[in-house]
């Protein structure tokens, strides 16, 4: 849009409320009202906390990533807003009124049945398939990073850790440890910092688990893994323990009332050997088949 070219002017951005905080800064709900007559539009503004230069570089990369992504299953980038004389910048995105998937599932358990969850899962799958087609590795696929656009549409909403896989390789190796969401990480990501489309598939399996657990705090992946690890505390670091139990083939248990075929799909995503994990297009097809079964059974 012409707005993207021009950029958003800070003086027309009116703060409404804080939507949430991340380890980068915060996201605020604002009204962009250049005419000053309240005909403006609601936008989500991601403000970088004024900190070390590196986060500004990461932030610029995130803006670059988001600005090339065009998919109905990915939150829309609208532009940037410079302030403090181009010293600080904010990322302006579409505002999704239903909020993050975690909050939505907690408050709408009654409205979300198996078919609705499978619809959400297939949309996340399609978003990831699109991301993979551009050689992006998300590295932070989790329910907390999925946004709800409507009762029948979810979008991938955060690309803070997304990296591009170099052309001559099939994976991305990170150096900086940062805030690692290790309970969503594939074993090779925990032990070798190796990230790939296959490690994104592992995380997708964990998102499926969160979905079918209604993001219930008691079945949160971190809590379930820590319960398992807690029983055999030996090595000092949690990530080594986690890698250990995964190597010994312990996996998150099936969520209550989870359809067996869906739990089977999770287990496929959690194959220890990344070459044996399904790809997103195969997962997308499997979900469509289960959705059809659910429709048939539903008719009874
Ligand atoms: C830190 C911010 N946290 C939150 N954001 C929102 C939100 C509602 N509506 C939104 N519309 C566009 C955006 Cl970008 C965010 C929201 N709601 C609750 C939050 F805790 C965030 O970006 N979370 C990552 C992701 F967006 F993927 F959920």
Determine how many CB atoms are found less than 10 A away from the CB of residue 269.
22
Per-residue confidence band for 53, with pLDDT thresholds at 50, 70 and 90: low
pLDDT confidence of residue 23:
75
Looking at the CA of residue 93, tell me the nearest atom of ligand 1: 14
Ligand 1 site, residue 157, Cβ cutoff 6 A: yes
- Indicate whether 300 pLDDT > 60: no
Residue 43 CA, ligand 1 centroid: distance in Å? 11
Residue 249 CA, ligand 1 centroid: distance in Å? 34
Q: Tokens in use for 274? A: 């990344």
Of all residues in the chain, the percent with pLDDT exceeding 90 is 80
In the sheet that holds 41-48, the strands lie side by side as 8-9, 77-83, 88-94, 41-48, 25-32, 13-21
Looking at the CA of residue 103, tell me the nearest atom of ligand 1: 18
Q: Mean pLDDT of all residues in the chain?
A: 92
- Indicate whether 235 pLDDT > 70: no
**pLDDT tens digit string along 156-202?**
999 888 899 999 999 999 876 667 899 999 999 999 999 999 999 99
**pLDDT tens digit string along 71-95?**
999 999 999 998 877 678 899 999 9
Protein residue closest via CA to atom 23 of ligand 1:
145
Q: Which of 2-16, 75-89, 92-106 has the highest mean pLDDT?
A: 92-106
Range of weakest confidence among 55-59, 135-139, 196-200: 55-59
Residue 163 CA, ligand 1 centroid: distance in Å? 20
| Those residues with Cβ within 8 angstroms of residue 157's Cβ, 6 or more apart along the chain or in another chain | 75, 96, 100, 145, 146, 147
Query: What sections of 45-100 are H helices per DSSP?
Result: 53-68
Residue 175 CA, ligand 1 centroid: distance in Å? 27
Contact at 8 Å (CB) between 7 and 80? yes
What is the three-state SS of 130-192? HHHHCCEECCCCCHHHEEEEECCEEEECCCCCCEECCCCCCCEECCCCCCCCHHHCCHHHHHH
Q: Which of 60-64, 135-139, 236-240 has the highest mean pLDDT?
A: 135-139
> What span, in angstroms and rounded, lies between the C-alpha atoms of 102 and 89?
28
Residue 261 CA, ligand 1 centroid: distance in Å? 31
Decide if 140 is catalytic.
Answer: yes
Predicted TM-score (pTM) of the model is 0.94
Ligand 1 site, residue 140, Cβ cutoff 6 A: no
Ligand 1 site, residue 20, Cβ cutoff 6 A: yes
Ligand 1 site, residue 48, Cβ cutoff 6 A: no
Looking at the CA of residue 144, tell me the nearest atom of ligand 1: 28
Name the residue of 27, 48, 146 to mutate for ligand 1: max ligand atoms within 8 A of Cβ.
27
Contact at 8 Å (CB) between 91 and 107? no
Name the residue of 20, 91, 143 to mutate for ligand 1: max ligand atoms within 8 A of Cβ.
20
Q: Which residues pair with 48 in a beta bridge?
A: 25
pLDDT confidence of residue 252:
98
């Amino acid at each position: 849009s012409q707005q993207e070219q021009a950029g958003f002017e800070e003086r027309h951005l009116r703060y409404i409320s804080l939507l949430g905080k991340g380890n980068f800064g915060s996201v605020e709900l604002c009204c962009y009202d250049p005419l000053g007559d309240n005909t403006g539009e609601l936008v989500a503004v991601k403000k970088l906390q004024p900190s070390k230069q590196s986060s500004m570089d990461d932030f610029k990369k995130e803006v670059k990533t988001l600005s090339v992504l065009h998919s109905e299953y990915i939150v829309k980038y609208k532009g940037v807003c410079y302030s403090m004389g181009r010293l600080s910048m904010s990322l302006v995105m579409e505002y999704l009124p239903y909020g993050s998937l975690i909050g939505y599932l907690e408050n709408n358990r009654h409205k979300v049945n198996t078919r609705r969850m499978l619809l959400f899962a297939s949309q996340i799958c399609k978003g990831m398939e699109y991301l993979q087609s551009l050689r992006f590795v998300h590295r932070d696929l989790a329910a907390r990073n999925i946004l709800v656009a409507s009762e029948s549409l979810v979008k991938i909403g955060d690309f803070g850790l997304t990296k591009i896989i170099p052309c001559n390789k099939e994976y991305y190796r990170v150096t900086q440890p940062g805030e690692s969401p290790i309970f969503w990480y594939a074993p090779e990501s925990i032990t070798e910092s190796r990230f790939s489309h296959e490690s994104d598939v592992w995380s997708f399996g964990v998102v499926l688990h969160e979905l079918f657990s209604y993001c219930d705090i008691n079945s949160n992946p971190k809590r379930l893994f820590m319960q398992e690890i807690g029983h055999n505390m030996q090595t000092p670091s949690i990530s080594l323990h986690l890698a250990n139990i995964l190597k010994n083939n312990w996996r998150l248990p099936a969520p209550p009332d989870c359809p067996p075929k869906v739990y089977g799909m999770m287990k496929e995503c959690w194959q220890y050997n990344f070459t044996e994990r399904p790809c997103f297009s195969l997962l997308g097809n499997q979900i469509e088949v289960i959705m059809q079964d659910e429709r048939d059974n539903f008719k009874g």
